[in-house]
Amino acid sequence: MDTHKVGSDTTVLADSLEVPGIGHMPVNAYVVTAAEPVVVDTGLSIEDRDFLAVLGGVIDPEDVRWIWLTHPDKDHTGGIFALLEAAPHARVVTTFLGAGEMTTERALPMDRVYFLNPGQSLDVGDRALHAFRPPLFDNPATVGLYDDRTRICFSSDCFGGPMPTAEIAESGHASDLKPEDLRAAQLLWATVDSPWVHLVDAEKYRAGLEPLREMDPEIVLCTHLPPAVRMTDRLLGTLAMAPDSDPFVGPDQAALEALLRSFEPGGAPAAA
């Protein structure tokens, strides 16, 4: 994992996972050092990741006041219960649906939950964080946020894309890729993560991009993309193409068997 600043008071806690045949998928969490510090998501739910230790290199966990859960998928909740123990004054910002989904594995302590819906705002002492529904999402509990002091938009899974290397995934910027390569990566992710984009009215979907365009963030931060600075128009242009892109079709059983054979002694490498 890597940590680095973006903007004046936001830190990226960057991790990644390699997806065979696709690339290295960034998995980011964030710290906003507001008057009431905010942690946005809590990393991967994998045993060899110590989210709390990484967070401790950025802020004393006891100082955290808010844990904004953009949605309760496992790549966003890895360190949430350890952080709740280490941050006794922190509350989890989520929705009714998000808290309900968490109960299928381990319930959040309801006296430490703060329900916030898209269109509402959270006062964190020196700024307001505005909740919104990103135009692409894979979980109905998804809520992004816009920091009106730094003009940073936290978009959850929206705008994600696999990177060619772990170094770029964890320590780079979206602009490190050629525009055509970034576009291809983001369209791939859009069709993997939000396959419903091929089923909706394309013009209504594209109209749903406009509120984010009007928001006009200077920096877009995504769970699954390195920081994107002054790239909002380009990112939205790519999302506008998603309904017309090729649907994702994953490997079938024959491809899995070929992959397994490639790991056998003397096996030929499987085709990507």
* Alpha-carbon dihedral sign for residues 107, 108, 110, 114: negative
Asked if residue 195 is part of any domain, the answer here is: yes
Interval 237-266: pLDDT, tens = 999 999 999 999 999 999 999 988 888 876
User: Which of 132, 134, 72, 80 is closest to 97 using CA atoms?
Assistant: 72
C-alpha count within 13 angstroms, C-beta hemisphere, residue 192:
18
SS3 call for 154: strand
pLDDT for the residue numbered 127: 97
pLDDT tens digits along 118-156: 999 999 999 999 999 999 999 999 999 999 999 999 999
CATH number at residue 244: 3.60.15.10
Q: Is residue 271 part of a domain?
A: no
Would residue 270 count as lying in a domain?
Answer: no
Residue 33 lies in a domain: yes
In a domain, 267, yes or no: no
Q: Which residues of the chain have pLDDT under 50?
A: 272
Determine the pLDDT at residue 168: 97
Find how far residue 220's CA is from the centre of its chain: 11
- Count up the domains in the chain and report the number: 1
The answer to whether 109 touches 65, Cβ cutoff 8 Å, is no
Residue 170 lies in a domain: yes
Q: Where in the sequence is the domain holding 254, given as residue range(s)?
A: 2-262
Q: Is residue 142 part of a domain?
A: yes
Residue 79 within any structural domain of the chain: yes
